[in-house]
Structure 1
């Protein structure tokens, strides 16, 4: 990185003010060879400190493409992505790994590592830094948060798909970043652990982290997100409060499925119910 390119600081001793934009994409376009239409067209999004931001939309809407761009794993054909004001593609990988953590849908582990060893891999960016002294405590907290303490000595290969997904999340939590990108983190989980994962993500946001989550479950988005971005056909259609974006009319227009949206009788949180 040259001297003219700003970079995030090496530590995060000072927490960003709630609502501050941590990660942003501006006018991002991504095209795939052989496809007539772009996978993502002129998309913009802000991921803010202290908020859980859900990316929702039907299959093929562009959610995973936008996620890949935000993570830095996919270079856009046009547009810009910045982390704390610094161009994402100019930040050295090791420094980037100290500021944003990414949970992908697929997290294959080929060797017989134990769960604790996999979670401890999340501490790699902090090797040979003062933060290395916190490794044991951070790993222990990540195992506890994901209900993996009883499985810590089990090999990853012996776990169910849902248990492996929780181990992958624990590794991301152990990375101790305050920008978290989670791609469908509840997909392989049972009901209890789905709620546990969403609770962890929401808690991290409440503690000041900027959290972006790809979700298929619209009720989960309505229940836990502070902000929602709705995508369809590679475009951002709307961004705002969940109850303002995920209306019955918008959902039917995007998903092609009539629904009713009404307040939960106990919590008052909007609930989506397909018309059958």
Structure 2
């Protein structure tokens, strides 16, 4: 009797995370670009009824085509609840007030932490898949990711240096997802070597002085020119191109930790000297 009572109390405590659902949720909404991408891969047909507005932007979302016919939401309770969800998936570190209002409306929520590595992405995938009632699909996705990663990893210590340039001359330094991807494919991260933390910035002069073998940028980002991305056409990039390879790697392949990172690994391996 005590065991049954404890189990029942535990289910009540965990109900907000759908851990004790008798059946999978039927109407799921995700409120984060990275969680959108996972749900678009894992959800059963018709199960995902809302995604963030960023999920349809092909500049940042690898699955923008899949999201085209799914309603989009902003991070407001009204926008979310209009879709009558029975589960809403949030980033655990954001939107505290919205979560409170969604819970108050009697809707379950699942909070998942930000993933900044392939290993953390696997944890996200497994957790979301279990809650959606799609555990088998989650396991299959993880197995496929691991196998492709095994084929793409370059063994041994790094033998080349890479510099990553993003909008407003931001970069991804030590401990970032891109730092991991570079290391897996045989590159030292110039930003990390210069002591730049996970998400910082450095100047074109610092990149020139570092003499990287590879410069990574998103040439698509300046298709509609803006000051933030104008460095893509800067003469310094031409100077770098005299002794370094220039790889245009769209930000959508590395903005989130997940299966799309394997496409980034593929591109990085293809240009390794």
Which structure has the bigger radius of gyration? 2
* Greater helix content: 2
* Greater strand content: 1
**TM-score normalised by L of structure 1:** 0.29
Higher relative contact order (CA 8 A, sep 6+): 1
